[in-house]
Amino acid sequence: MSGLLLDTCAVLWIGQGQGLSDAGKKRFAAALQLGEPILVSTMSAWEVGLLVSKGRISLTSDAWSWLNRFMEMTSAEWMNPSPQAMIQASVLPGTLHRDPVDRILAASAREGGHVLFTGDQALLDYGAAGHVRVHRC
C-alpha cells in the first residue's frame, strides 16, 4: 500500500506543531484518519541528527529521543531506501537539484508509489513536472 512519505521538513514541522499549511494539516489528518501509512525515511533521521549537531535546529530532547517520540505520536513507520532507489536517485528524470537526501526521497517515493509530503519548493516543482507525486505540507 502506498503511503505518505514525509520529507525532513515535514517531520520537523509536524513534530514541533508549527509550519504546516492548512492544506497540509488537512492532508496529514486525512492520512491518519484513513490509516494510510505514514513513512519516514532513515535518511531523515540522519538529516535531523546533522541539523542538530550543526546547531541549525534545536529540539526539546536529543535527536534520537525526539524522533522516537515523533514516530510513536504519529504511528509513523521507518522506511529504509532500497538499493534500487539509491541508484535511481543518481539518474532521476527531469531536473532536480543535487541535494542527495531530496533525490533519495524522490526516488523512494517514485519506487513505492508514495506521495512525498514536503515544503521544499524544488521537490514541489519536480512533482508539478510529473516526476513524483507530491503534496505541499
Domain limits of the chain?
4-136
Q: What pLDDT shows up at residue 125?
A: 98
CATH topology for 4-136 is Rossmann fold (3.40.50)
Q: What is the pLDDT of residues 72-118, one digit of tens each?
A: 999 999 999 999 999 999 999 999 999 999 999 999 999 999 999 99
Q: What pLDDT shows up at residue 64?
A: 97
Q: What is the mean pLDDT of residues 57-83?
A: 97
Confidence class for position 1, pLDDT limits 50, 70, 90: confident
Q: Identify whether the C-beta of residue 5 lies closer than 8 Å to the C-beta of residue 115.
A: yes
- Rounded alpha-carbon distances, angstroms, from residue 115 to 3, 124, 133: 6, 11, 5
On the 0-12 / 13-18 / 19+ scale of CB atoms within 10 A, 69 is middle
Secondary structure element (H or E) that encloses residue 40, with its range: strand 38-41
Q: What is the mean pLDDT of residues 111-134?
A: 98
Q: What pLDDT shows up at residue 51?
A: 97
Q: Please state, rounded to an integer, the average pLDDT across all residues of the chain.
A: 97
Distance CA 92, CA 90 (A): 6
